[in-house]
Amino acid sequence: MNWQKASLRDALGRSLVAIGERDDKVLVVNADLRNSVKTTYFMERFPDRTIEVGIAEQNMIGVAAGLAMMGFIPFAVTFARFASKRAADQISMSVDYCRTNVRIIGAYAGIFTGMQGVSQQMIDDTAAMRAMPNMTVIDTADAREIAAVIDYAVGHEGPLYIRVGRDDWPVVFDGAYVFRLGKGHWLRQGHDVALISSGVLLPYALEAAEVLRGEGIEAGVVNMPTVKPIDADLIADAANRIGAIVAIENHNVQAGFGSAIAEVVVARAPCPMEFIGIQNEYSQSAPNDDLAEHHRLTPPHIAAAARRAIARKRG
Amino acid sequence: MLSNALTDREGARWAPTDAEIGRFRYLAESTRKLFLDTVFRYGRGHCGPCLSEIEILISLYFAELRIDERDPKSPDRDRFILSKGHGALGLYCVFAQRGLIETKELATFEALGARLQGHVDSIHLPWVELTTGSLGQGLSVALGMAIGARRLGKDIRAYCVLGDGETQEGNVWEAAMAAAKFKADNLLAIVDWNGLQGGITMEVMPSLEPFAAKWQAFGWHVIDIPGHDIGALLAAYHEARMVRGKPTVIIARTVKGKGVSYMENQVEWHGGTVTPALYDQAMSEIEPRLAQLESYR
C-alpha cells in the first residue's frame, strides 16, 4: 500500500502544544532531550510552563508527582527506556501506588528510533508498566492517534503511560479518528483470523490482511491502543467468533500486549494465538525496513503467522 | 483554619519564649515515652531512627507547619514529607500528640487494614503526604510541591526530612541540583544525621563527607545544628524562612536511639525488641526527665 507518512515525534510535540493552549494547568517536565522528543515546540510556546530538570529521570518523575499533587497536569516526557527503567521505582512509588495524575510519555518506544541502537530503543516498557496495578498503558499507531491520545490524557484520572514512536510513519487514520480508553476497534472484518495490533505495526497488519485476501483468507484487523485496561470483551468475542488470533506489537512478545491478550483468551475463550513482535532478543541499529524484516514484523510474516493460527483451529 | 504557634507571628515577635521551648521539650520527652510504650506493647518499631527524629518532628508539627488539624487536605497547608519512611511510628506518635489521630489508634500499627502502615503511607492515612521508604525519593516530590506552590502564587512551604544514610541515593542529589536551579526558597530539607544506618556504622559506607560542603556546593543554604535542641531547631526554621533565592538544608546532628541509654549509638537498635526489663530501664530514664519538665506542661 502507498501510505502517506508523518513524523511521530513531531505529532507528539504539536499535540502537547495543542493541549497547552486548551488548559493552562498542563506543564511539560523535561529531562533534556527536548530536540529529540520535540517538546521544543511546547517550550517555545510556553517557556514558563516548561520544567527542565536535566538528565535526571528519577528527579523528573518525583518533581512531576509533586506538581500533580499541587493540582497541575504534568507530562513527563523522555525516552521510553529512561522513563520505564531508570525511573521505574519512582514511577511505582510516587505515581502508581500514590495514584498521582502524572502523564508519562515513553517516546522512542520500540525499535524504530533512527538507527541509534539498543540504548535508545525500548522493547520491555509495556511489560514493566502494565504490571503496575494502577497504571493505564496506551500505545500509539500513527500521528493522528498520538494527537487523540494526548488530547485524552489531559482529563485522565490516575497514572498514565503513553508509548510514542519517533520516525516518519504511515498515517492510518483520518481526522475523524476518536480515541476511547479501553476500547479496540475493527478496521476490517474477517471470519478466518483476527489480527489485533497495538502501536505502529498497524499498517503492516492491514497490508497482511490484503495479502491473505489474495489467498482467499478473510482476516479481521483490530487496532487496540489501550494495552491496559485491555478490551477483554472484544478479545473474547474475536476468540469465540473467529477462533484464531495474531497479536501484533512493537515490543518484546514476552509480557507485552500479546501476553495481555493471551491472559484474556485463556481465561475466557481459549483459541490458537500467534505473536508478532520482538522474539525475546535485543535489537540493533539499522534502517527501519531492515529491522522490521530482521525481526519478522513485516506483512509476509504476519500473514504466515495468521496461516499458522488458522491451521491450529479446532474442527 | 491554618495555624501554627510560631509561624503566624513573623518578624521580631517570632522568637519562642522559654516557656514555649520548655513545653516543646516536654512534648518531645512525652512522645519518646509514648513511642516506647507502643513498641513495648505491640512488639515492633524502628527504635533508633524514630528516637533520633522526635525533636525535629515535634518542633515542626507544634511550631512550624501550618496545617488545619480538622482537614488533612486543606489546600493551602504546608506540605511535609518524611522521606525516611521507616521513621513511621515516631511520626504517628507525633500525630497522636498533635491530635491528628487518636492515641489508641497506635495499637493498630502494622495490622492488616490499618491506617498506620509499617512505613508512612499516604493511601492509608490522609495526614501523610507521600508514601515513602523506598529511600531517596521524597526530596524530588517536595521540590515539585514547592515549585507548584510558587506557580499557584501561594505562600505554601514544602518540608522534607531525610535520613543521613538515605543521602547515599543518587536521586537525592538530582533533586538537590534541581532545587537550586529553581531557586526553591520555599523548600526546607532536614537531614536527621544520627551517624548510623541500618545495622551498621557509616564508616564502612562510601563517605558522605564533607556533608555540609556538598550541599553548599549544590547551591543550598546550610544550617548545621544540634538536632535535639528545640531552640536551635526553631531558630533554624526561622532562618530558613528568611533565606531568599535558594533552598535551605538543616543538618540536624542527632543521636540514634536518643533518650534511652542502652539504645543510643547502638547499631543493633535500628530495630529491636523491648523486653519488660529493658522497658523498665527506659522508663527509669525518661520519667525523671518528664518530671523535671512537668512545670512546662
- Over 60: is that where the pLDDT of B5 sits? no
Let me know whether A142 and A241 are in one domain.
no
pLDDT, residue B10, reads: 57
Let me know whether A9 and A121 are in one domain.
yes
For an interface test with B, give the residue of A50, A52, A53, A59 to mutate (most B CBs within 10 A): A59
Q: Give Rg (Cα) of chain B.
A: 18
Considering only CB atoms, which chain B residues are within 8 Å of A56? 174, 177-178
Q: Which of A121-125, B7-11, B293-297 has the lowest mean pLDDT?
A: B7-11
pLDDT, residue B44, reads: 78
| Portion 166-225 of B in contact with A at CB < 8 A | 170-171, 174-175, 177-178, 181
Encode chain B in three state secondary structure.
CCECCCCCCCHHHHCCCHHHHHHHHHHHHHHHHHHHHHHHHHCCCCHHHHHHHHHHHHHHHHHCCCEECCECCCCCCCEEEECCHHHHHHHHHHHHHHCCCCHHHHHHCCCCCCCCCCCCCCCCCCCCCCCCCCCCCHHHHHHHHHHHHHHCCCCCCEEEEEECHHHHCHHHHHHHHHHHHCCCCCEEEEEEECCEECCEEHHHCCCCCCHHHHHHHCCCEEEEEECCCHHHHHHHHHHHHHCCCCCEEEEEECCCCCCCCCCCCCHHHHCCCCCHHHHHHHHHHHHHHHHHHHHHC
State the average pLDDT for chain B. 94
Q: Which of A172-181, B9-18, B19-28, B84-93 has the lowest mean pLDDT?
A: B9-18
Considering only CB atoms, which chain A residues are within 8 Å of B178? 53-54, 56, 59, 63
Question: Which of A120, A147, A170 finishes a domain?
Answer: A170
Q: Which of A236-240, B8-12, B195-199, B211-215 has the lowest mean pLDDT?
A: B8-12
State which H helix or E strand residue A274 sits in. Answer: strand A273-278
pLDDT, residue B13, reads: 64
Let me know whether A149 and A248 are in one domain.
no
Query: Cβ-count burial of B204 within 10 angstroms (0-12 exposed, 13-18 middle, 19+ buried)?
Result: exposed
**A180 in a structural domain:** no
Considering only CB atoms, which chain B residues are within 8 Å of A69? 79, 129-130, 141, 144-145, 148
pLDDT, residue A32, reads: 97
pLDDT, residue B204, reads: 85
**A175 in a structural domain:** no
Let me know whether A202 and A159 are in one domain.
no
Mean pLDDT of B203-227: 95
Question: Which of A170, A200, A229 finishes a domain?
Answer: A170
Mean pLDDT of B192-219: 90
**A23 in a structural domain:** yes
Let me know whether A126 and A274 are in one domain.
no
Show the cell assigned to B7.
Answer: 509561624
The residue of chain A with its CA nearest to that of B138 is A62
pLDDT, residue A148, reads: 98
What gap in Å lies between CA A134 and CA A139, rounded to an integer? Answer: 17
Cβ of B140 within 8 Å of Cβ of A51? The answer is no
Min Cα separation A200/chain B (Å): 34
Task: Determine phi and psi for A237, rounding to 5 degrees.
Answer: -65, -45
Please list, in sequence order, all residues whose beta carbon lies within 8 angstroms of the beta carbon of residue B254, skipping any fewer than 6 positions away: B52, B53, B55, B56, B192, B193, B194, B227, B228
pLDDT, residue B271, reads: 83
Cβ of B142 within 8 Å of Cβ of A58? The answer is no
* Cα-Cα-Cα-Cα dihedral sign, residues B77, B82, B83, B88: negative
Q: Which domains does chain B show, CATH number per domain? A: 18-296 (3.40.50.970)
**Which member of B131, B144, B177 has the closest CB to residue A66?**
B144
Domain range enclosing A30: 5-170
Mean pLDDT of B33-61: 94
Question: Which of A142, A170, A198 finishes a domain?
Answer: A170
pLDDT, residue A124, reads: 98
CA B29-B34-B36 angle, 5° bins: 95
pLDDT, residue B42, reads: 85
- A100-134 pLDDT, tens digit per residue, is 999 999 999 999 999 999 999 999 999 999 999 99
Q: Which residues of A21-60 are buried (b: 16+ CB within 10 A; e: fewer)?
A: eeeebbbbbbbbbbebbbbebbbeebeebbbbbeebbbbb
Considering only CB atoms, which chain B residues are within 8 Å of A65? 130, 140-141, 144
**A176 in a structural domain:** no
Helix axes B276-293, B18-42, angle to 10 degrees: 170
Let me know whether A136 and A15 are in one domain.
yes
Q: Is B74 on the interface with A (CB under 8 A)?
A: no
For an interface test with B, give the residue of A70, A86, A89 to mutate (most B CBs within 10 A): A70
- CA of residue A53 relative to chain centroid, distance: 25
- B159-191 pLDDT, tens digit per residue, is 999 999 999 999 999 999 999 999 999 999 999
Let me know whether A243 and A155 are in one domain.
no
Residue B14: pLDDT band by 50, 70, 90 thresholds? confident
CATH of the domain at A226: 3.40.50.920
CATH of the domain at A25: 3.40.50.970
Closest by Cα among B189, B128, B182, B184 to B156: B184
Mean pLDDT of B39-55: 91
Mean pLDDT of B233-258: 97
What gap in Å lies between CA A232 and CA B122, rounded to an integer? Answer: 32
Cβ of A59 within 8 Å of Cβ of B131? The answer is no
**A204 in a structural domain:** yes
Min Cα separation B123/chain A (Å): 6
**Which member of B122, B123, B178 has the closest CB to residue A63?**
B178
pLDDT, residue A315, reads: 60
- Over 70: is that where the pLDDT of B292 sits? yes
Residues of chain A with pLDDT under 70: 315
Min Cα separation B241/chain A (Å): 21
Mean pLDDT of B240-262: 97
